[in-house]
Amino acid sequence: MVMKSTLTSKGQTTIPNQIRKQMGLKAGDGLVYSIEGDRIVVRPVKGTLLDAYASVKPKQRPEDFSRVRRQARGKRAARISAKK
């Protein structure tokens, strides 16, 4: 199915009704945009952050969050200093 919509001066567009119905989209639903080659791909975001709770298993139990935060800060600091 190919349908057309127009981009407004504010960068907004309307998803055609037929596509909204087929995809089960309603007002307030989230969308994810990605670029794949020369295409813009729009995918619905189903669920919430709470739905994803515990979906990623930690490498070890109990997880040492202090260590994880230190590592993340170190990596971020390295990226920032590399940009200077």
Residue 14 included in any domain? no
Residue 56 included in any domain? yes
Identify the three-state secondary structure at position 26.
Answer: coil
Structural domain for 65, as ranges:
50-83
Q: By the 8 A CB rule, do 24 and 47 touch? A: no
Segment 36-40 mean pLDDT: 94
> How many domains are contained in the chain?
1
Residue 40 included in any domain? no
Residue 69 included in any domain? yes
Give the integer Cα–Cα distance in Å for 53 and 35.
27
Residue 8 included in any domain? no
Residue 61 included in any domain? yes
Considering only residues 52 and 67, tell me which one the structure prediction assigns the higher pLDDT. 67
Segment 35-50 mean pLDDT: 86
- Please confirm whether the linkage preceding 62 is cis (ω < 30° from 0): yes
Residue 11 included in any domain? no
